[in-house]
Amino acid sequence: MGQVTTLTSSDGHSFEVYEAAPDGNPMGTIVVVQEIFGVNAHIREVADGYARSGYRAMAPALFDRVEPKIELGYAGADMMQGIEIARGKLDVSDALLDIQTTVQSASESGAVGLVGYCFGGLMAFLSACQVSGLACAVSYYGGGIAAQLEQSPNIPLQFHFAELDAHIPMSDVDLIRNAYPDCGLFTYDADHGFNCDHRASFDECAADLARQRALDFFAEHMG
């Protein structure tokens, strides 16, 4: 369904973007922000799913600044490599610049929303606070948000967290809920990564419910 294109940010860095288009005219564009595993098969499938729901979808390869075309597995050395890139080698400001570039390109198709997972969940939160041109954003189990509560979202923002997530304690989720009472925040009886059907932590019921809530949110704010 999709194809790979290239965008160039204002600092001259070029990066790949996986794009998927709906059958008819798009209702807008959803920017899909990757986990720590790169724009892999799962992220491409997520983009394809939003295209089937009527949106143009664009998934920028944010790790291209460190290692182009990287696709990692979900355990062992691959997971450690993804963590090392996300937490050490990749400058968050560079990632946000590439997201901004993607949003600017996406605006050619009308309103732009954003959804991010894991590392992308944190980027979704930061994008809601710092990236211009977005109508709304959805953050799935983004680690590190509770340490950045001085940030202020400028657009409607929806959070999804997993109650069994060892990486994000419910005490952090409570801090986020209290800091941003106007944002929708949902928790699920599931583990980190519950949306990814390539992982053992996949939870179909939680994934389906969260996705429907995200779709309703996009429809509300991008219509």
Phi first, then psi, for residue 162 (nearest 5°) are: -105, 125
169 pLDDT band, cuts 50/70/90, is very high
pTM of the model: 0.98
- How many separate domains does the chain show? 1
DSSP code, position 80: H
Q: Is 172 designated active site? A: no
- Average pLDDT in the 194-198 region? 97
pLDDT of 130 above 90:
yes
The pLDDT, as a whole number, for residue 109 is: 86
pLDDT of 145 above 80:
yes
- Average pLDDT in the 54-62 region? 99
14: CATH? 3.40.50.1820
Question: Dihedral of the CA atoms 82, 84, 89, 93 (nearest 10)?
Answer: 70
Instruction: Considering the candidates 42, 48, 98, 118, report the single residue annotated as catalytic.
Output: 118
Beta bridge partners, 138, equal 115, 158
- Average pLDDT in the 20-24 region? 96
The pLDDT, as a whole number, for residue 1 is: 67
Instruction: Considering the candidates 48, 64, 98, 165, report the single residue annotated as catalytic.
Output: 165
Instruction: Considering the candidates 48, 98, 160, 192, report the single residue annotated as catalytic.
Output: 192
For β-strands 2-8 and 157-162, DSSP reports them as unpaired
pLDDT of 192 above 90:
yes
Q: Is 165 designated active site? A: yes
The pLDDT, as a whole number, for residue 223 is: 81
Kindly report the average pLDDT of the chain as a whole number. 98
Q: Is 78 designated active site? A: no
- Average pLDDT in the 25-40 region? 98
The pLDDT, as a whole number, for residue 151 is: 97
55 pLDDT band, cuts 50/70/90, is very high
Range of the domain at 18: 2-222
Q: Which residues of 169-180 are buried (b: 16+ CB within 10 A; e: fewer)?
A: eeebbeebeebb
